[in-house]
């Protein structure tokens, strides 16, 4: 007697055959499944290591920041990048970005041309690029691969830095004025002693614009440091990983524009 179909339903003989086939297939696969279960590597999930005003910072963010530290000008002077220091920079940067959004500081957004120009300068001046010849495409690709970075990630890093620096400039530089007496004092007490005896220093009028810029930046840094310290005090910051707790003043460790 042949099996009959009725709206997709299979009669008993066909069901028996399918059930036996499924049992054989399961029996054949069981050893392989058991072996895979024994040899499979554990899956490591990302985890939250800190929370800044309800915004999470992940362990992968810290790892990313450590890799990006090679793009920092002072990296050559560092023996190794500390995860604790990387987290503090992330906390500072998060606080600043939150403030940029709160103040709707759209004028600080850099253009693609700004990012490209900064990247060109970075490839020429970065100490870590000295042995990689980053000015060539081949050298730059080798540098990125060696530090597990991508072109897109570096450009995003540069864009973020430019945005923060412009925000600082816009917020703190306006209203600061440098007097002639301050310039003269810096020239006399700081610049001139740097020249060895017998070596002629440049006249004040020649270096005055540069001295004004230095003094202006110093005042901006003081204002910015106080402002960031207040953001930290007023913000809700929780470090969830005890190994990443700050060992010193976090405002000093976590300068976002280092």
Domain segments of the chain as ranges: 48-253
The pLDDT, as a whole number, for residue 241 is 93
Q: Which residue has the higher pLDDT, 202 or 250?
A: 202
Average pLDDT over residues 230-242: 94
As its CATH architecture, domain 48-253 has: Orthogonal Bundle (1.10)
Q: Which residue has the higher pLDDT, 109 or 257?
A: 109
pLDDT mean across residues, the chain:
79
**Which residue pairs from 31-36 have beta carbons closer than 8 angstroms and sit at least 24 positions apart in sequence?**
none
The pLDDT, as a whole number, for residue 238 is 95
**What are 102-152's pLDDT values in tens digits?**
887 666 688 999 999 999 998 988 877 877 889 999 999 999 999 999 999
Q: Is the pLDDT of residue 57 over 50?
A: yes
Confidence label for 200 from pLDDT (cuts 50, 70 and 90): confident
- Percent over 70 (pLDDT), the chain: 74
Most confident of 40-54, 104-118, 155-169: 155-169
Confidence label for 211 from pLDDT (cuts 50, 70 and 90): very high
**What are 62-101's pLDDT values in tens digits?**
999 999 988 876 544 444 678 999 999 999 999 999 998 8
């Amino acid at each position: 007697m042949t099996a009959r179909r009725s709206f997709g339903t299979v009669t008993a003989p066909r069901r028996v055959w399918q059930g036996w086939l499924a049992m054989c297939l399961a029996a054949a696969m069981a050893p392989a499944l058991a072996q895979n279960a024994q040899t499979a590597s554990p899956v490591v999930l990302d985890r939250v290591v800190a929370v800044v005003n309800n915004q999470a910072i992940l362990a992968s963010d810290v790892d990313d920041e450590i890799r990006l530290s090679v793009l920092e000008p002072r990296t050559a002077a560092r023996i190794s990048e500390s995860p604790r220091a990387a987290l503090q920079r992330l906390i500072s940067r998060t606080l600043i970005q939150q403030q940029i959004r709160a103040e709707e500081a759209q004028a600080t957004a850099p253009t693609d041309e700004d990012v490209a120009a900064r990247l060109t300068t970075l490839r020429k001046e970065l100490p870590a690029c000295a042995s990689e010849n980053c000015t060539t495409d081949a050298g730059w690709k080798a540098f990125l691969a060696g530090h597990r970075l991508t072109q897109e990630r570096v450009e995003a890093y540069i864009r973020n830095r430019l945005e923060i620096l412009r925000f600082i400039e816009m917020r703190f530089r306006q209203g600061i004025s440098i007097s002639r007496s301050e310039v003269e004092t810096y020239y006399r007490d700081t610049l001139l002693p740097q020249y060895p005896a017998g070596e002629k220093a440049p006249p004040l009028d020649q270096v005055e614009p540069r001295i004004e810029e230095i003094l202006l930046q110093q005042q901006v840094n003081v204002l910015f440091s106080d402002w960031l310290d207040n953001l930290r005090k007023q913000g809700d910051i929780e470090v969830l990983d005890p190994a990443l707790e700050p060992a010193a003043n976090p405002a000093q460790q976590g300068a976002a524009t280092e």
